[in-house]
Structure 1
């Protein structure tokens, strides 16, 4: 395996594209089967990749070449157009194996959904065609020093057949190993567009400076944009996804939920395995095996119950998003947002609880560095900081008590 190690504030060149075009998934069942096959491989090196911060370069090639990065391309353009129930399950399966790899796919899949919503037919044919071949999008959305997440300083200037983008981004998950980098940039009217630049475009610099203790191999560092030229064919009017009711925000959100349920599922499986194979019975229990402990039995049952509840809401949210995609209006979109917010709350809570309970139930030896089980807690604690659930509770209360629909943006 070619190991690409961490650099220190050094600009990183782009990656070579696979020579062959990506596979195209034929249906929902194949998407789930392919996700399970990949997950079985990804999990083998996940602890080492986290420990050594090894970039998942080969894994991402396998992931995108499998066809799973084009599963929400519409059938009208040659894509499989699987349900969002299936898409969320795919992300959950991959995230259970390696949550960083699961998260890296998020913005790509979200941009694919946005292209369906806001692009004209000519642009859709161009971009969906590239995505079906295996072109992998990273992201350059968020900014580090702005007052709020929606306050962007990155802007572009119109130059006729192209635009020129200037600014700086952070939290740029996947940009290092992308083929194209969608940049959220404002026009002269303050409207946000996706300016999709070549990864090696002159003036586009990606720096590996992501120092978080969790989701370490999402490579979510800095992107510097210095007079980056983007052809207008690759300029997507993202703002149109939020100036009227669409499912775009809920789609970005449901993928976040799927990452968290994947982390929770992985942690519960690690807990069960450790308790059954390594943990000792407590001295006062009078038992021979830790897995006979009635308190441990109760706790594992409770964890599974809460995970299944989160997964059930995730599925319910997926169905609601499918309805909103098919018939976008104020009511269907609000329903998709609300069900997704419910799933986000439960997935956050079970991810934190399961990754914490792992150590309580497995015992002191589970904290040894050789096991690297703390990666699950670190990943859960880091990833669940996206889109705080205290505001999700507010969305639910306003909707159910006062009939107030959620705001339209990528965080709702």
Structure 2
């Protein structure tokens, strides 16, 4: 039984941010996976923050999960992205999982286990085309066959949540230990940014799973539970965290490494009124994104307390707004950081600036779930009162 309140777990993670930040630049350069950092989060109990109190957990909600990811993303958004799908699939198990699955999965997470997604596929015309299949064998087991890519956190996961389609075309989530026979996880993620998310290709060859550990995805996605909004909230939290971390590092660079422009008439770059003005504009953008994230997290929590169509609609709209503002802030701050730092900020190996890492991470992560569609949903609501659809992306 966990006796640590979820808010205290957030404070504890904040206290350990310097440890996680210490090697972030080197991990990015060397593509060294953050095993020690994730193990630290597991040991602190942070990754169990949303385990329901009825299962011995802290019983935290979207507010705590989003703040944890935002904090982590200020220092290393790759570390922050690993728990994103972890928390999302714990929520799915809470909504749609069998008692047997909940007991085993939540118990393992309370002991430090991590859950990774095995969801995306390369071959479909869109992200909703799923080739991975689940069937029932003669012994009454579920059998999963398929291949996934960009399975965030899978290389360092204890459990995998595998999206598969049954013979009737319904989507199922098969929860299975990562060492289950027939599972292969290949560490082959190599991208511009978010380089150390422990993502990989997951191959499933006649993987047998107890039927009790296969959940109906539609029960979570289609209900008024804010499930898709929660998933998107956590992505938004990462973007907002990147923006804050990049702004903090840019300001440090200005104070310690930048030279003033000769026309400014000042001795220190930090006293240049044009730089100060630009920093003020960026601070507004980041604060707006942080405020929207907090509003959205509370809206998602409202769906957890009292699920309803109205609450689910408000959660999706609030999260869409937070996602747009977070996306814009992350991209603007990480780009303008170079402008404010000058030529020196583009030098490779700049210790205090790290502008290229921030920009690459922001540019890569904000490619998740395009904000142009968030604006469409917000616009349709504003014009005609049309609620957003219920999907895992809204």
Normalising by structure 2, report the TM-score. 0.96
Residues 114-170 of structure 1: CA deviation (Å, up to 9, x unaligned): 111112334322322222122211110011121111111101111244211111111
| Alpha-carbon distance, 1:244 to partner | 2.6
Unaligned stretches of 5+ in structure 1?
A: 1-22
Residues 201-249 of structure 1: CA deviation (Å, up to 9, x unaligned): 2221111111211000013221111111212232122221123322111
Q: Identify the residue that residue 250 of structure 1 maps to in structure 2.
A: 229
User: Contact 1:250–1:410 at 8 Å: present in 2 too?
Assistant: yes
User: Contact 1:25–1:71 at 8 Å: present in 2 too?
Assistant: no
User: Contact 1:38–1:63 at 8 Å: present in 2 too?
Assistant: no
Q: Identify the residue that residue 286 of structure 2 maps to in structure 1.
A: 307
User: Contact 2:98–2:213 at 8 Å: present in 1 too?
Assistant: no
Q: Identify the residue that residue 374 of structure 1 maps to in structure 2.
A: 356
How many residue pairs get aligned? The number is: 390
Match of 1:220 among 199, 215, 222: 199
CA distance in 2, matches of 1:120, 1:223: 24
Corresponding residue SS for 2:150: coil
CA distance in 2, matches of 1:322, 1:111: 16
Match of 1:67 among 45, 70, 73: 45
User: Contact 2:10–2:46 at 8 Å: present in 1 too?
Assistant: no
Residues 81-117 of structure 1: CA deviation (Å, up to 9, x unaligned): 1232222111101111110010000001000111111
Match of 2:135 among 147, 153, 157: 157
Q: Identify the residue that residue 313 of structure 2 maps to in structure 1.
A: 334
Q: Identify the residue that residue 235 of structure 1 maps to in structure 2.
A: 214
Q: Identify the residue that residue 387 of structure 1 maps to in structure 2.
A: 369
| Alpha-carbon distance, 1:275 to partner | 0.4
Unaligned stretches of 5+ in structure 2?
A: none
Q: Is 1:176 aligned to 2:155, yes or no?
A: yes
Q: Is 1:135 aligned to 2:133, yes or no?
A: no
CA distance in 2, matches of 1:311, 1:25: 29
CA distance in 1, matches of 2:43, 2:216: 27
Corresponding residue SS for 1:380: helix
Q: Which moved more, 1:387-396 or 1:151-160?
A: 151-160
CA distance in 2, matches of 1:102, 1:386: 14
Normalising by structure 1, report the TM-score. 0.92
Q: Identify the residue that residue 378 of structure 2 maps to in structure 1.
A: 396
CA distance in 1, matches of 2:203, 2:16: 33
User: Contact 1:192–1:237 at 8 Å: present in 2 too?
Assistant: yes
CA distance in 2, matches of 1:196, 1:382: 28
RMSD: 1.4
User: Contact 1:143–1:152 at 8 Å: present in 2 too?
Assistant: yes
Q: Is 1:96 aligned to 2:78, yes or no?
A: no
Residues 277-302 of structure 1: CA deviation (Å, up to 9, x unaligned): 11000021121111111111011111
| Alpha-carbon distance, 1:24 to partner | 4.1
Q: Identify the residue that residue 90 of structure 2 maps to in structure 1.
A: 112
| Alpha-carbon distance, 1:37 to partner | 2.3
User: Contact 1:24–1:66 at 8 Å: present in 2 too?
Assistant: no
Q: Identify the residue that residue 340 of structure 2 maps to in structure 1.
A: 361
Q: Is 1:273 aligned to 2:252, yes or no?
A: yes
CA distance in 1, matches of 2:158, 2:107: 14
Runs (4 or more) in structure 1 with deviation over 6 Å come to: none
CA distance in 2, matches of 1:38, 1:228: 38
Q: Identify the residue that residue 4 of structure 1 maps to in structure 2.
A: none
Residues 56-85 of structure 1: CA deviation (Å, up to 9, x unaligned): 111111112211111111111111112322
User: Contact 1:182–1:195 at 8 Å: present in 2 too?
Assistant: yes
Q: Identify the residue that residue 347 of structure 1 maps to in structure 2.
A: 326
User: Contact 2:49–2:64 at 8 Å: present in 1 too?
Assistant: no
Match of 1:42 among 20, 23, 41: 20
| Alpha-carbon distance, 1:25 to partner | 6.2
User: Contact 1:92–1:261 at 8 Å: present in 2 too?
Assistant: yes
User: Contact 1:93–1:262 at 8 Å: present in 2 too?
Assistant: yes
Corresponding residue SS for 2:203: strand
Q: Which moved more, 1:234-243 or 1:207-216?
A: 234-243
